[in-house]
Structure 1
Amino acid sequence: MKVVLLSPPQNDKMFPSLGIAYIGAVLKKSGHDILIIDGAGISLKEMIASIKDYHPDIAGITMNTTNRFDVLELAKQIKSNLKIPIILGGPHPTLLPDQLLKNYKYIDFIVRNEGEYSTLELVNSLEKKKTFSNIKGISYRDNNKVIHNPPAEPILDLDKLPFPDWSFFNLKKYSKQVEYPEKYKKYPVGSVISSRGCPFRCTFCSSSQFWGHKNRLRSPENIIGEIKMLYGLGIRFIVFNDDNFSSNTKRAIQICKLMIKEGLSEKMGWQCRAEVNVMNEELIKWMKKANCNMIEFGIEDCTQEGLKWFKKSHTQQQVDKAFDLCRKYKIKTKSYFIVGGDHETKENIKRKKKYIENLNPDITTASILLAYPGTEVYDLGKNQKLFDESVWLDNCVGEKFHSRAPIYTGPHLSYSELISASADINYWWGRKKGQYGIKDNIKIAVDMLKQGDINKLFRMSLAVIKQKLSFK
């Protein structure tokens, strides 16, 4: 069968979609005719023209909460032009399948959670005109009734999956982020996920709702095989997009040792996300030897009250130790903080700035607390009647929203105060570290205008102007 897999048109994507690259590889291995159209840097009109030229039998589209309306417009136009079955996959449809199937009749199927094998079974059934009732992990309509089949079992042996198929992607399109070492910026950047699943239950995160709570690990040998493939594609910098690359320190060290043994550490740089509570000197020493350039840490808050509210399991002592070790071995650090929550106050935000100054990360990002579907924060907001499930049918534009999701304010700060605080911290620390000059600010403004997000540009500009008045 001819299957087209799509990521929607978007100008500011950091990485190509691993999801459709994996699914494309599985479908191709099973003998299906595959076309992947990557939406980075192309228009909706161009994408529709390419789809029509291919004449597919089925279309599959990856969707998240932020891009949901771009995906819905793409799906609507495909159905209007081609009248073929349309499958959605990704975090947003996984968490809200009922709403999507009831409200958008041009969506035919939703593949929930991991998509590789459920999508293959569905495509095979469509090809052979068989029933869908025995395919685990899918949702669909039957005589206007929405059916949710039982969930599929998580893929326990991730090594059995083929490597993602990057043959349809122009990897040079993707933005070179400010933290990438200068010598690698002329090369494409590769994305690898070495594990799936997260045992933690942070209030703001839905990752475990998608991947499950069990941490499933690929073998070091399998990961090195994929990195070698990426090197052959011209990639010289790797970003591990696991929730926690260091969840198993023994495996992480073995990956580093294999990078060195295979000569990859001399040719390529890399960065990853990790939890501070598992970092130790031996691990960081091997990461440095393997040419790790940066580690990203989710710190989120600087008070015990805030850490408890976010359900973070680390201590401030563990944070200090991890950052001290990174400095000792000259690995850059990126810290993530969240502005918002029931504990958040103006005084706490001032403490957060002081804490960041003492911690001295190379890069920091302070994000506004957003109530994404599948998170505990979302349930709290619904219980407080701040919003209900119909919010996802709205375009989510205005003071109460950010990145097409509702803001969770908490009892002490307003929407505008949270937006201002986030902009203040990001701009203050970026300027302090020399990351936001005039050219950078112009680029940010131009990118927002290209996306048609004039409202966001105005709000962010106003927040920066107000920062000295609100949070001195």
Structure 2
Amino acid sequence: MAKVALIEPRAEFNGYALFRLPLLGLLYMGTILKQRGHEVVIFVESIHPALDDRTGRLDPEVESADVVGLSGMTCTVQRAYALARRIRERNPRARIVMGGPHVSFVPFEAQRVADVVVTGECDRRIVEIVENPDSLQGVIAGDSFVDLDSLPAPDLGLIKGLRNIRWVPIATSRGCPYDCRFCSVTKMFGRRYRLRSPEGILAEIEQRLGEGHRRFFFYDDNFGIDRQRTQQWLEEVVRRGWRFRWSAQARVEIARDEELLRLMARSGCYYLFIGMESVNPDALRDYRKRQTLEDIRSCVRRLHRAGIRVHGMFVLGSDSDDEGTALRTVRFCDEEKIDTAQFAILTPFPGTDLYRDMEAQGRILTRNWSLYDGTHVVFEPLRLKAIELQRQFLWAWKRFYRAANLKAFLISRYLLGRWQALNRKFLSALQAWPARSLDEV
């Protein structure tokens, strides 16, 4: 049996990465491999590093692994490449496997440092990679279709250094039938919206409750699209008398069904993360959101009537945004009494229509992928200077949380200060651009 180390690299420059909620992909793979008798450890680097940057030493369980798997989102992929190179130096016999959204769209990059690059899903493909090492090399296609009910409940004990977890991630679906211009989900999974059965969802919740967990984040790309199925398992949660709190990410359409909202509240939902994206109608059309400003207002008010708090998620930097967009966004949040908000900078991730269009227009400022985390300007805006958009982003965070409760105020100021400390060189380069290159940050 093989010794396998799976690594979720940390983001280099994202000072807003405070909350340690592990992604599910490596957990599914690790659990499947463990069930087949392999020795597995998972490194979520925001919890426990695979590489000590101060000493340059790899964790002993990485240095002795037969197979090392690295998952790469765009903002973490350069860290993943650096880890792969270090692993090659210290553990040359290890088979290095890379996957994830970024390398699925830019596999030739990962080929330089990995033995196997998997495009697409890898939940079950990983078994063949580990158990038949001579049969697969280079860039390979992942699983063509994964039945979500066939996946085991993730074994959280595989995560090194995890002593307690405040929110347990659970997936009830995968994919999204929509096609927002800045999103890579449909490019990665297609527009197939796959569902777990109510029985499978309830079984995992029951297991987690038995382990003592009482807070769950439903890690769906878009929660509650299938109303009938959602209603079915939520009603069973209420009928069984289970007591826990949960939250999820959803579109504004979920609030059109007030009966469902009341059921969600009764089952323990107390917070929804809503993709509002913009208060600029032209930006909503440009993003292909298929929603209006009135839809957003109605969503917030209905959620509040149901007793569910609202976390509004906004994206700044569309081609129709100007110097007043951040101010109008924060005013909207105040007027509608949005409980908490997060502001992101429009980011052209490889694989998206947005990236294709901006690349064709020559507007990409850098391919320093570590900056592609939603907190850095990496493209040339149409109606603003890049440094002005960056300042709008920072101002929106500071302004929205000026009158928040003390805890939220202190957390936001801490995160803002940490981001600025990590990004002094970036801000200086952006201020001087194009005289200075962002690739050197």
- TM-score (ref. length: structure 2): 0.86
Matched, 1:441 2:441: no
Matched, 1:153 2:144: yes
Letter in 1 for 2:44: D
Of 86, 92, 109, 2:96 maps to 86
Mapping of residues 42-441 of structure 1, within 5 Å: 42-43=48-49, 44-45=51-52, 48-51=58-61, 55-83=64-92, 84-101=94-111, 104=112, 106-126=113-133, 129=134, 131-132=135-136, 140-141=137-138, 148-149=139-140, 152-155=143-146, 157-169=147-159, 188-264=166-242, 266=243, 268-279=244-255, 280-387=257-364, 391-392=366-367, 394=368, 407-434=378-405, 436-438=408-410, 440-441=412-413
The 1:4/1:170 distance shift into structure 2, 3 A limit, reads closer
CA distance in structure 2 between the partners assigned to 1:447 and 1:338 by the alignment: 18
The 1:114/1:150 distance shift into structure 2, 3 A limit, reads closer
1:172-204 C-alpha deviation (Å, 9 max, x unpaired): 568xxxxxxxxxxxx621111211111111111
Answer yes or no: is the 8 Å Cα contact 1:9–1:41 preserved in 2. no
Answer yes or no: is the 8 Å Cα contact 1:191–1:239 preserved in 2. yes
- Structure 1 partner of 2:36: 30
Letter in 1 for 2:238: I
The 1:245/1:438 distance shift into structure 2, 3 A limit, reads closer
- TM-score (ref. length: structure 1): 0.81
CA distance in structure 1 between the partners assigned to 2:412 and 2:358 by the alignment: 35
SS of alignment partner, residue 352 of structure 1: helix
Deviation at 1:60, TM superposition (A): 0.8
The 1:188/1:170 distance shift into structure 2, 3 A limit, reads farther
Deviation at 1:351, TM superposition (A): 3.3
The 1:387/1:325 distance shift into structure 2, 3 A limit, reads closer
Deviation at 1:422, TM superposition (A): 1.6
1:390-436 C-alpha deviation (Å, 9 max, x unpaired): x44x3666xxx766876334311111111121222222111232355
**Sequence identity percentage:** 24
Query: How many aligned residue pairs are there?
Result: 417
1:65-91 C-alpha deviation (Å, 9 max, x unpaired): 111122112111111111111001111
Deviation at 1:453, TM superposition (A): 4.2
Letter in 1 for 2:277: E
- Structure 2 partner of 1:463: none
Letter in 2 for 1:372: F
CA distance in structure 1 between the partners assigned to 2:300 and 2:374 by the alignment: 30
Q: Could you say what the CA RMSD is over the residues aligned between the two structures, in angstroms?
A: 2.8
The 1:12/1:356 distance shift into structure 2, 3 A limit, reads closer
Q: Unmatched 5+ residue regions in structure 1? A: 133-139, 142-147, 175-186, 461-472
Name whichever of 206-215 and 7-16 sits farther off: 7-16
CA distance in structure 2 between the partners assigned to 1:78 and 1:48 by the alignment: 8
SS of alignment partner, residue 35 of structure 1: strand
Letter in 2 for 1:68: V
- Structure 1 partner of 2:434: none
Letter in 2 for 1:445: G
CA distance in structure 1 between the partners assigned to 2:25 and 2:339 by the alignment: 30
The 1:118/1:438 distance shift into structure 2, 3 A limit, reads closer
Deviation at 1:352, TM superposition (A): 2.9
- Structure 2 partner of 1:137: none
Letter in 1 for 2:144: E
